[in-house]
Amino acid sequence: MTVPKGKLIPIGGSEAKGQEATDASSELRQPTFFESGILAEFLAEVKGPGSRIEIIPAASEVPEEMGKAYLDAFHNLGCKNVHVLYIDSLKEADSPDNLRRIDKADGVLFTGGNQTTLIDKLLDSQLIRNIQQRYQYDDFVIAGTSAGAAAMPRLAIKEGKSSESLIKGMVETEKGLSLLPGAIIDTHFMQRSRLPRLTEALLRNPGLLGIGLCVDTGVVITQGNVLRAIGSGGVFIVNADDVLDTNYHDIRELTPVYVNKLHITILANGASYYLNERIFTKTDETVIQS
């Protein structure tokens, strides 16, 4: 398989504080929450403030408000050549103008919202195929926050209730955007107690690696393999390859699950991970092949 020339930056998302907050306001907190760190890191991985960036708020229920928030955030970082690409249907995704804009961009950022909504609008589009091609063969950067991150892998978590216990049947998955074939991503990871649902997704789909991203935290993935933690929180690498004992495949749904030898590695700034080799390393010791 060809090593991708581009980079992926999945981000764990943000969440509003207080019971009065709505889902929409939670989404709109993301740009300001990341402004001083994550978005600046994204620009550094592209071509700096001179980059041409396309924001894609297709996952959001409030795309205009979301788009404006990101425009303001990037402008505050000195990036003026940033645009919002509004997509409300598969047909709209493949308009000639949208395809030209992707061809001209240095990077794209998928906002938060609902990953199923994003996948439904883009999965079979020429636009996503063009984005996949640019990631594979160009120095092209794809970021996604919250839903935009969860949609990146070949398999995405569609639904899944958080629970204090691991209960069989709480997770539903769907085909994702196939930018990261060997992993599955969950976001708002510790804030929304999502270890049980990510673990079930791995038990249902052997061979995948779980990446749990906390808020204001992301990873830069180079060559489709080398993962570097960024941001202010933690990244949980969940590996079910060596599970010795589990009742998962023998029990009825809605029954508690036991698991022996689930392996968890926690990354933060200064730590990296080789996805294919399942190896932890300090970032300053990580080797990137040119």
Average confidence score pLDDT of the chain: 91
100-114: per-residue pLDDT in tens? 999 999 999 999 999
User: Is the per-residue pLDDT at 183 higher than 60?
Assistant: yes
Q: What is the DSSP letter of 165?
A: S
The pLDDT, as a whole number, for residue 288 is 77
Q: What is the DSSP letter of 56?
A: E
Please state the pTM of the whole predicted model: 0.92
Contacts of 44 (CB under 8 A, 6+ apart): none
Spatial distance between the Cα atoms of 1 and 87, rounded to a whole number of angstroms: 31
The pLDDT, as a whole number, for residue 290 is 59
The pLDDT, as a whole number, for residue 1 is 62
User: Is the per-residue pLDDT at 260 higher than 90?
Assistant: yes
Strands 141-145 and 7-11: parallel
276-286: per-residue pLDDT in tens? 999 999 999 88
Name all domains of the chain by residue range, CATH numbers in brackets. Answer: 7-272 (3.40.50.880)
Q: List, edge to edge, every strand of the sheet that includes 183-186.
A: 183-186, 209-213, 235-239, 263-267
- pLDDT interval class at 97 (50, 70, 90): very high
For residues 171-194, average pLDDT? 95
Spatial distance between the Cα atoms of 155 and 146, rounded to a whole number of angstroms: 15
The pLDDT, as a whole number, for residue 286 is 87
Of 24-38, 103-117, 141-155, 246-260, the least confident: 24-38
Phi-psi region of 224 (alpha: psi -120 to 50; beta: other; left: phi over 0): left
Percent of the chain past pLDDT 70, that is, above it, reads 90
Phi-psi region of 270 (alpha: psi -120 to 50; beta: other; left: phi over 0): left
- pLDDT interval class at 165 (50, 70, 90): confident
201-229: per-residue pLDDT in tens? 999 999 999 999 999 999 999 999 999 99
Q: What is the Cα 213 distance to its own chain's centre? A: 8
17-73: per-residue pLDDT in tens? 223 333 444 454 455 445 558 999 999 999 999 999 999 999 999 999 999 999 999
Distances (CA, A) of 28 to 63, 174, 187, 199: 10, 26, 16, 29
